[in-house]
Amino acid sequence: MSIGHTLLGLLEAGPRHGYDLKRTFDEKFGHDRPLHYGQVYSTMSRLLKNGLVEVDGTEPGSGPERKTYAITDAGITDVEQWLAQPEKPEPYLQSTLYTKVVLALLTGRGAADLLDVQRAEHLRLMRVLTDRKRGGDLADQLVCDHALFHLEADLRWLELTGARLDRLAAEVRK
Q: Are 17 and 59 in contact (CB under 8 A)?
A: yes
How far apart are the two ends of the chain, measured CA to CA in Å? 41
Q: Are 20 and 27 in contact (CB under 8 A)?
A: no
Percent of the chain exceeding pLDDT 90 equals 74
- Three-point CA angle 11, 30, 36, nearest 5°: 80
- CA dist 33 and 126 (Å) reads 18
Q: Which residue has the higher pLDDT, 99 or 63?
A: 99
- CA dist 37 and 113 (Å) reads 42
- The answer to whether the pTM exceeds 0.85 is no
- Give counts: helices (H), strands (E), the chain: 8, 3
pLDDT digits (tens, 9 = 90+) for 92-118: 766 889 999 999 999 888 899 999 999
User: DSSP string of 85-132?
Assistant: SPPPP----S-HHHHHHHHHHHTT--HHHHHHHHHHHHHHHHHHHHHH
pLDDT digits (tens, 9 = 90+) for 27-45: 888 877 889 999 999 999 9
